Structure 1
Amino acid sequence: MFCTIALFAFNATEAQNIQNNPGSNHGNKFEQLGTILPTPNEYRTASGAPGPKYWQQRCDYDIKCSLDEVNQKLTGSEKVTYFNNSPDVLTYLWLQLDENEHSSVNNSGYQTSSSMQQNVNVAMLDRADENKTDNGYGDKITKLTDATGKVLKYTINKTMMRVELPIPLKPGQQFIFNLDWNYHISDRFKYNGRGGYEYFPEDGNYLFTMTQWYPRLCVYSDFQGWQNHQFVGSGEFALTFGNFKVQMTVPADHVVGGTGECQNYQQVLDAKHFARWQQAQTAKEPLQIFTLDEAKAAETKKSSATKTWIFKADMVRDFAWTSSRKFVWDAMPAYVEGKKVMCMSYYGKEAYNLYSKYSTKLVAHTVKSYSHFTFPYPYPVAQSVEASNGMEYPMICFNYGRTEKDGTYSEATKNGMVGVIIHEVGHNFFPMIVNSDERQWTWMDEGLNTFCEYLTEELYDNKFPSRRGPAYTIVDYMKMPKDQLEPIMTNSENIIQFGPNAYSKPSTGLNILRETIMGRELFDYAFKTYAQRWAFKHPTPADLFRTMEDASAEDLDWFWRGWFYGTDPCDIAIDSVKAFKADVNAEPKLTSRGPAERGIDKPAVPAFDDISKVRNREDKNIKFLTDADTSLRDFYWRYDRGMEAYDSSYKFKTTPPSFDAMDDAAKQKYAGKYLYEVSFSNKGGLVMPIILQWTYADGTKETERIAVQIWRKDENHVKKLFVKDKEVVSVLLDPMKETADIDVTNNTWPKVDAASNFSIYKAKQAARGQSQGLNPMQKAAQK
């Protein structure tokens, strides 16, 4: 008989046209990227590897600075040695003055649309009114001389500073100059930004996160010359590798953490704390160098003396540090291919019950996991700082995750903390080592890092509810109106949906490549090749695209074209099924149950058991961290597994679609071969593999995969003839939700009505990562 299921098309307009023959129904989506990518040359090859004449600049810094806690001011001086490794003669240098972001007169000047709301934040009005005058923030340059003391000319253009060279700097030469500066440190909660201070009124103390704090060189590269785009805020940084020596003078009772290794712990720590530091070198569990009781005592006694901490870091692109008397500081070693990495955490009492248990172990887990997928972690330390923040720098990062005052916390807070620590520590690999240009291509660090974060979360706990990575989690973004979308290949400052575009879509795309298109073995080899080729270098998107193909023998231009250069979603529909020897007339029955009143949080397990989780469980070589280290199993580990009671009166249930089974008589009636001609439509525009799950009359299932190239001669409609030994009762497209198909109502045959929707509302949180409100831990304690 003949059976046809007709479905409605999703109308979409093109976001951009990068095709040679857009009027054709084929030959476009599989067209090679060709001239869209830069022409290969002796610096960057067609294979995606650095060329025989690849070069990059170097810049060394010797910095001394002093922190004035009372007046929230930083004063510094730096000796800068710039090496011209390029084949070009330079007549000037460009520096970034990132602190000018907070200046009312020297910021980038970029503005966005705004409107008057009925309820207006006073701080917002204060900032708007403040813009009329100089608010006093931003870098103040007090001295600029060459190595002989001769004054140098310079020009400040908003967040950039051009230094005029007294004589041209030829290839192979170096130039040394000295720079003195100061600035007022901003309140991060008032002025936003990645660095500044947080004030704790209940104990009268400060927590300083010193980032983008010194004038630093812009990147000069073979593919664009000076990268001196203004610093607006969302677009992060393009930076030059070099060696750092940094001396920070701070209040004597502060604990300091920074990029690299401290050179004078024995001088800045008393005998007791230095002995603990030495014990931590071989500790099996995080050892507290400064304890909670000591941190609480320090909060009540503020020293007027100072100490100078000295740090050194080699072959890094940046330097950041933190300082506060509020810190608990713990440490333990991790080992990557036999090399010791000191993993450390700094956190106040507000985060103690979370960070003391998880932070340093998560640092160690992240370093080891990323090393497995890329290259061995090369630095001697890795550090996590709780600062109600989320930002990354070489060997140190700032994260969030605070408890209730009683020490309990919600599962959302814990999972958010786990995710942000993995994410920010992971940034050591992308872009701190694989040093892409974040100012231009946010996705090259955030997207690649979020993908590796997902792999690492999966290896942490198979039930961890990762928000970015599985294909089904990107569907809501992919189905948005086209005027709210832009291609991944968009400058960071011009993105509307910044998180989905720069983080979720590229990381999801890489996971689709790994699990669905290339397979783990091919993908992992190619991805590792890219990471190793471009470690401590400056890659571009073309270098990634070309390497992934070069190392795998997979033609992926169709994928880069659709997923990275376009905005079309995946929406493949089953239009019709012609069945021979089959009489499939059974009507599907759908049962559903609406949401009940929402109460206490239910266990935060993933909504869908995605393919990565399934394969990771099946892989006998994988042992999840919470299985290897049972000390990481807390209340929520048990809660997610039904080992802690959950109040079912608050729980709402939904019943998935189900079909009436065919009876035995019907199964026995049809014998021999069965032929099925299935017609498919590409309604979304993005070509993807076709994955079919056949359900047979005997109840068995079979999954069949058709490579994406089936669309190469007709990108809109294809048909496929299948020969089966058994009768088919239903066909399901993309059963494991691997392709981010935005409309699953046209993925089934026979057609199944869509389930009713329900809404979930998330409570607002005050500080980032601050646990608030009644949580299951508190309720359990009340019993």
Structure 2
Amino acid sequence: MRKFGLAIALFALVSTEGWSQARRSEQNHAERFEQLGTMLRSPNVYRTASGAPGHMYWQQQANYVIDVELNDDNQSIKGSQTVTYINNSPDQLTYLWVQLEENQRGPESEAPKVAESSINSRMTMRTLEGILWENEEFGYKVLDVKDENGNALSVAVNKTMMRIDLPEPLKAGETFSFKVDWSFNITDRMSYISGRPGYEYFPEDGNYLYTMAEWFPRMAVYSDFEGWQNKQFLGRGEFALTFGDYEVRITVPADHMVGATGVLQNPEEVLSATELERWNKAKQTYDNPVIIRTQGEAEKLEKGKSTEKKTWIFKAENVRDFAWTSSRKFIWDAMAVKQGGKDVMAMSYYAKEGNPLWEQYSTRVVAHTIKSYSEKTFDYPYPTAISVEGSNGMEYPMICFNYGRPDKDGTYSEAVKYGMISVIIHEVGHNFFPMIVNSDERQWTWMDEGLNTFMQFMAEQEWDRDYPSRRGPAHKIVPYMRSEKQYLEPIMTNSENIIQFGPNAYAKPATALNILRETVMGRELFDFAFKEYARRWMFKHPTPEDLFRTMEDASAVDLDWFWRGWFYETEPVDIAIQDVKWFKLDNRTPAEKKAADQAEFEREETYISKEFNKADVPQTVLEADPATRDFYNSYDRFAITPEDEEEYKRFMASLTDKERELLNSDLNFYELTFENVGGLVMPLIIEFQYADGTSEIERIPAEIWKLNETQVTKVFPKKKEVVQFVLDPYRETADIDESSNYWPRQYQPTRFELFKGRGGARGASTGDNPMKRAQKKK
């Protein structure tokens, strides 16, 4: 990738899309293979042209000491925290920015204001509540900010962001500590407010399950490439956060079980003797999870509410965030996983409503995810990895909240089972991207969701060879790539501006990376380069440029055309076999050539008029008048002359041994013409199916389109006769029209169904599931 060569200006590439499309329609050679050039940030002392951190790379640090108390009677929370901010930048700072995500659920939130809404003939109460949005009771209620000496600090709160004006500038290398007291009412995340954190209420037993995330004021990121990342939180674009160390004291009802980011510091104080014994056993168990609090024990606790309190103390080092969960409903199991010369504790917290699925699968899936991701990136560095059943799907360092609840009779559909396994893999996998490889989610959702979905796909296939992965295989992105232009944006689009969020930010980048691995680069080159990216940027803040440059730097593969087509543009893959011609070397003798010429002449001169004229024209002029005849009427054009024989002998004598071998090889030459209908250039993968029933595949790099991006012709010499040509036989390139990938063309009928009622799709959880039906037969 040339980083400093001549390139079209960014304005021309981005702002003049109409000109760009017009140019493409008029020219066979446009810009698909031009280097990205000025579309990428310039390398500097902080980030190198190779994609690695520079020799002067820096990042900020924020350490937290937090005391928090949960009120289970009125579902509220209050806390006090001390933040120590370390300015590792070369810059002098006059203010700090702090994120207040809880305000996104408050009355002044912009989220409902910028969301479209409409009235239909049938409306749910939840939808109407979302339109009304009168959340006066939510958002931060108390927000008291002081310096470490107790002096009030000047602050300005702008919805989900708070600026702290410093008493004096914070110089490079200096530290500033401040205290924040706060409180808020916890939202019902099962209601119209939704969101990631909050509580779920269980009316059957009158208990709550709390998933506490985005719950405390958190430092925004100040970086070399963006300065302060202080974009407002609207709910979709997630987080940019600063690494630091945490000590958190969580006070909850004494009968609650708490799971959190980090390591529990006082298990002897908060666990029963039996639970402590089981916990210590789990730390030495590597094959199956050990249940530390059983379902029966949890069900007993559900029946009463303790009036006493316990404080759980957790510490976590070098994390970018902290989350926790609490409930008296929790069953808890754990097992140890050997990883990188140390033991990692894989754990799960779930209510009885999650069984039997969660007891069987959750912790085992956590352990598998740690092993799979570590093999492809770096050894999982944290001491714990926790999966919590919270009818949710969201990730935080060392802890994540997931869904997957069976029916009340304990049966479940395939969709529920595989959905649960997939979401656990995905959310645990987020520990790698972006909890450790700490990209800016608010700006580039795809850098964590897309990369993680790609990793998830590989982990799913390692779990089960027939795993029904939703995202990753190239052909599964085709419906999105077929979308109308107005519903498509480049992957390199801000999180809040994406219409089809899941396909764009999750599926398309995951598919692109899978194609890169399987088809463009090959597994060996890709795996080395991808691991190098992860290793370079673990516990740091990478940008897209750092990924793009590292993948090329570590592989020696020029991928600018790929990043441009898949990440910066919206064209689909649609390559067609336009024409096929068959040629053979002419190694015939003069007699063979004359005989073939005569047969061809006779074929050309046989037509219907001549047949009819045998009866309708009794005698021609030539037949009636000998004077009309001359030399050519008796000349045999197909006779073999001595000159023909002599010329053939001279030609054969002039051949070298290699030329004679080629002449007698009886090779078939197939000239294939390909048309780039969709616009996105890709390699050509051609299957040749032979008359003897065998086949072979040839792979032509995408660079074949360099001089003509709309149509290319390629000749393939083959010893065998080809009866069928198939383009992209393994569906590797996400071609949106496979009907043009065959020669001769193959036509298949589009079938329609006669039915009385439509059933659910495979694995759907609507109606009876196969497990339920099987139980009914017993």
TM over 0.5: yes
- Among candidates 436, 439, 452, match of residue 436 of structure 1: 439
Does the Cα contact within 8 Å between 1:404 and 1:770 map onto a contact in 2? no
1:425-478 CA distance string (max 9 Å, x none): 000000000000000000000000000001111111111011111101111111
Q: Post-superposition shift, 1:339? A: 1.0
In the other structure, the counterpart of 1:143 is 144
In the other structure, the counterpart of 1:58 is 61
Does the Cα contact within 8 Å between 1:298 and 1:326 map onto a contact in 2? yes
Instruction: Answer yes or no: is 1:291 the counterpart of 2:294.
Output: yes
Unaligned ranges ≥5, structure 2: 1-15, 586-663
Distance 1:560 1:308, change over 3 A: same
In the other structure, the counterpart of 1:492 is 495
Does the Cα contact within 8 Å between 1:15 and 1:482 map onto a contact in 2? no
SS at 1:189's partner residue? coil
Does the Cα contact within 8 Å between 2:111 and 2:235 map onto a contact in 1? no
Distance 1:407 1:689 in 2: 48
Instruction: Answer yes or no: is 1:265 the counterpart of 2:267.
Output: yes
Q: Post-superposition shift, 1:763? A: 4.9
Q: Which amino acid aligns with 1:161?
A: M
Distance 2:737 2:40 in 1: 32
- Among candidates 206, 229, 238, match of residue 208 of structure 2: 206
TM alignment of 1:82-481, pairs within 5 A: 82-107=85-110, 110-131=113-134, 135-190=136-191, 191-283=193-285, 284-481=287-484
Distance 1:745 1:208 in 2: 52
Distance 2:239 2:18 in 1: 27
Q: Which amino acid aligns with 1:140?
A: K
Distance 1:467 1:770 in 2: 13
Q: Post-superposition shift, 1:302? A: 1.2
Q: Post-superposition shift, 1:511? A: 0.4
Does the Cα contact within 8 Å between 1:43 and 1:51 map onto a contact in 2? yes
1:615-655 CA distance string (max 9 Å, x none): xxxxxxxxxxxxxxxxxxxxxxxxxxxxxxxxxxxxxxxxx
SS at 2:476's partner residue? helix
Instruction: Answer yes or no: is 1:79 the counterpart of 2:82.
Output: yes
Instruction: Answer yes or no: is 1:515 the counterpart of 2:509.
Output: no
Distance 2:86 2:394 in 1: 29
Distance 2:412 2:740 in 1: 42
Q: Post-superposition shift, 1:360? A: 0.4
The structure number with the bigger radius of gyration is 2
Q: Which amino acid aligns with 1:470?
A: P
Q: Post-superposition shift, 1:142? A: 3.7
Does the Cα contact within 8 Å between 1:15 and 1:566 map onto a contact in 2? no
Does the Cα contact within 8 Å between 2:356 and 2:410 map onto a contact in 1? yes
Q: Post-superposition shift, 1:563? A: 0.2
1:569-615 CA distance string (max 9 Å, x none): 00000001011359xxxxxxxxxxxxxxxxxxxxxxxxxxxxxxxxx
SS at 2:107's partner residue? coil
Distance 1:770 1:577, change over 3 A: closer
Q: Post-superposition shift, 1:672? A: 2.2
Distance 2:320 2:761 in 1: 36
Does the Cα contact within 8 Å between 1:77 and 1:178 map onto a contact in 2? yes
TM alignment of 1:702-721, pairs within 5 A: 702-721=696-715
Q: Post-superposition shift, 1:674? A: 1.1
Does the Cα contact within 8 Å between 1:393 and 1:428 map onto a contact in 2? yes
- Among candidates 41, 56, 61, match of residue 38 of structure 1: 41
Q: Post-superposition shift, 1:758? A: 5.9
Structure with bigger RCO (C-alpha 8 Å, 6+ apart): 1
In the other structure, the counterpart of 1:778 is 772
TM alignment of 1:538-557, pairs within 5 A: 538-557=541-560
Q: Post-superposition shift, 1:20? A: 12
Q: Which amino acid aligns with 2:456?
A: E
Q: Post-superposition shift, 1:324? A: 0.5
Distance 2:527 2:485 in 1: 33
In the other structure, the counterpart of 1:634 is none
Distance 1:559 1:282, change over 3 A: same
- Among candidates 678, 688, 699, match of residue 684 of structure 1: 678
Q: Which amino acid aligns with 2:680?
A: L
Distance 1:17 1:562, change over 3 A: farther
Distance 1:154 1:714 in 2: 59
Q: Post-superposition shift, 1:130? A: 3.8
TM-score, L = length of structure 1: 0.84
1:646-690 CA distance string (max 9 Å, x none): xxxxxxxxxxxxxxxxxxxxxxxx992211111100000000000
Distance 2:714 2:500 in 1: 37
In the other structure, the counterpart of 1:620 is none
Distance 2:54 2:303 in 1: 58
Q: Post-superposition shift, 1:761? A: 6.8
In the other structure, the counterpart of 1:647 is none
Distance 1:16 1:454 in 2: 36
Distance 2:768 2:68 in 1: 44
- Among candidates 735, 740, 747, match of residue 746 of structure 1: 740
Distance 2:405 2:165 in 1: 48
SS at 2:355's partner residue? helix
Q: Which amino acid aligns with 1:144?
A: V
Distance 1:160 1:375 in 2: 34
Distance 1:546 1:34, change over 3 A: same
Distance 1:465 1:327 in 2: 30
Q: Post-superposition shift, 1:97? A: 0.5
More helix by share: 2
In the other structure, the counterpart of 1:595 is none
Q: Post-superposition shift, 1:108? A: 5.2
TM alignment of 1:575-586, pairs within 5 A: 575-580=578-583
In the other structure, the counterpart of 1:625 is none
- Aligned length in residues: 678
SS at 1:398's partner residue? strand
Distance 2:416 2:565 in 1: 36
Does the Cα contact within 8 Å between 2:329 and 2:352 map onto a contact in 1? yes
SS at 1:383's partner residue? strand
Distance 1:414 1:387 in 2: 15
SS at 2:137's partner residue? coil
| Larger mean Cα displacement after TM superposition, 402-411 or 497-506 | 402-411
SS at 1:436's partner residue? coil
Identical columns (%): 59
Does the Cα contact within 8 Å between 2:117 and 2:131 map onto a contact in 1? no
Does the Cα contact within 8 Å between 2:140 and 2:184 map onto a contact in 1? yes
Does the Cα contact within 8 Å between 1:671 and 1:726 map onto a contact in 2? no
Distance 1:117 1:687 in 2: 43
Distance 1:758 1:167, change over 3 A: farther
Does the Cα contact within 8 Å between 1:401 and 1:770 map onto a contact in 2? no
Q: Post-superposition shift, 1:107? A: 4.1
Distance 1:394 1:294 in 2: 28
Q: Post-superposition shift, 1:301? A: 1.3
Distance 1:726 1:167 in 2: 82
Does the Cα contact within 8 Å between 1:27 and 1:712 map onto a contact in 2? no
SS at 1:188's partner residue? coil
Distance 1:187 1:266, change over 3 A: same
Distance 2:747 2:259 in 1: 57
Q: Post-superposition shift, 1:171? A: 0.2
1:737-761 CA distance string (max 9 Å, x none): 0000000010000111144256897
1:2-30 CA distance string (max 9 Å, x none): xxxxxxxxxxxx97777997553215111
